[in-house]
Every structure is written in C-alpha cells, then in structure tokens.
Amino acid sequence: MERRLLPGIVFILGNPKDPGKAEELNDWVVRVHYPEVLAPGIVVRATRFENPQARGDAGSPRFLTIYQTHRADADAAWTEHTGHNARLREQGRITPVHPQSATTMLGVFRRIGDPSESAEDRATKGILAVLFDCDGPDREQWYDEVHIPEALAAGPYHTVTRYENTGLNPGQPTLLTIYQTDWDDPVAAMQALAGPLERLHQRDRLHQRGTADDARIDVKLCLPFKETASRVK
C-alpha cells in the first residue's frame, strides 16, 4: 500500500464461507476481481490484507480490502462505481461475485486532514486498523496533540491516517484510524505500540493532560493486517 492514502476509501472486511476455500477466494479476488474493479477508473487502487490472528468470524475477519479513489466525494464515487459494475454484471461482461465471498463490513470513509508521518523512506508491509466511535469536545485536540505524536514516537508505525464514515451504510463505527508499519510482523508491531502508549497515558493522567478517557473512545474493532497484494489503475 502506498504511504499516503487517498481522500476516499472503501473498507471491506470479509471471510471465506468455507475456510478450506480461502486461498481459492483470495486468488480470485486478486487475479480476477481487482482488475475488473479498477477498469472503470473510479477506484484507482486496490490493496489486499490478511489478519494473522483471524478466527474467521465478524469480530475477527480474515481478509481486508481497501479500495481508494482520488475523488473527494467517496459516497458518490462508490455509488457510481457499483452502479456501473452492476450493469456490466447483468450483461455478463464481468464475473459474478465469488460464491465463497462473505462480507462482514463494507464502509465508505473520507479522510480527515493529511496523514501524519514520522519518516519518508519507510515501506508499508502491514497496518493496524482501528474502527471506533469517539465523542467529546477535546477529541480533535487529543488526537493531534497527544495520541498521534505518541503513536509515531513509539516506533513501529511510520504513518497514521484518520478517516470518518460517510454514513452511506448506517449503523457502522463513525471513525477509522489506519497505522502503517514496515515491520514484517503486524502483530508484533501492534504489541510494541501497546506498552509505550499505556505508560504515556498514565503519565498524562498524572499531569491532567488530555486522555483517551476525556475523548470518550469506544473501540469497535482493532486488528493487525499483513499486506498480501496490491493493484493500481
């Protein structure tokens, strides 16, 4: 995945219906489905990830796809894209959805500001994806002044990008943060982040600085993923 994520993304979590057919599904997605998704030019980048800890259920999905678009209106882009592909599918010009595909979440998100980066020369081999709801008057200040600087200073992650749900599909978490790492092991990267941040948050509470508690964060999903394939239009 490119370091700098585009303004709009589609975030799709899923599993194979039969765990024994996971590789068959994965091969179809990358070899057949991604070229068809990218062909209209609305979605310009598709990246496939796998969760090393996956149980294969809705709370711990095995696969993640992130589609990216240059368009600022991610809702309109995805609606146009799906309508276009539906017509092609009806005409038999693209393949049907694979029978093993089971989507557990499909969310459309718009980027909040620019990504925060600690370096310019680090690749992205994996990510930590955190879906959550967050409220409170100090939410933005806590992110900008406390959380993101500390997350980058901890070491495993070189880029942090924030997104908000467009609401195209109601009832989903409202916010998404993606942390990018050049570590080969995304689980180890996630574990390396946890300790330093907890110590820093304890310090902040002692000094009465903004904390996650002040921002009232309700994490819905926090999962590491390893990048396995990427295609660009």
Residue 63 within a domain:
yes
Nearest C-alpha neighbor of 9 from the set 91, 96, 72: 72
- Residue 3: inside a domain, yes or no? no
Residue 20 lies in a domain: yes
pLDDT at residue 214, as a whole number: 54
DSSP secondary structure code for residue 132 in this structure: E
- pLDDT for 160: 95
- Measured between alpha carbons, how far is 40 from 56 in angstroms, rounded to an integer? 31
Residues lower than pLDDT 70 in the chain: 136-137, 196-215
What lies within 8 Å, CB to CB, of 12 at 6+ separation is: 64, 65, 66, 67, 103, 105, 106, 107
CATH at residue 77: 3.30.70.100
Helix (H) or strand (E) holding 189: helix 186-206
Can you give the pLDDT at residue 53? 95
Residue 139's SS3 state is: helix
Q: Answer whether residue 2 is part of any domain.
A: no
The answer as to whether 67 is a domain residue is yes
In a domain? residue 1: no
Q: Which domain holds residue 58?
A: 8-232
pLDDT at 201: 54
pLDDT of amino acid 150: 87
Rounded to whole angstroms, the Cα distance separating 159 from 157 reads: 6
Q: How many domains are contained in the chain?
A: 1
Q: What pLDDT is attached to residue 44?
A: 97
φ, ψ of residue 172 in degrees (nearest 5): -95, 165
Q: What is the pLDDT of residue 208?
A: 45
Supply the pTM of this predicted model. 0.91
What local confidence, expressed as pLDDT, does residue 33 receive? 95
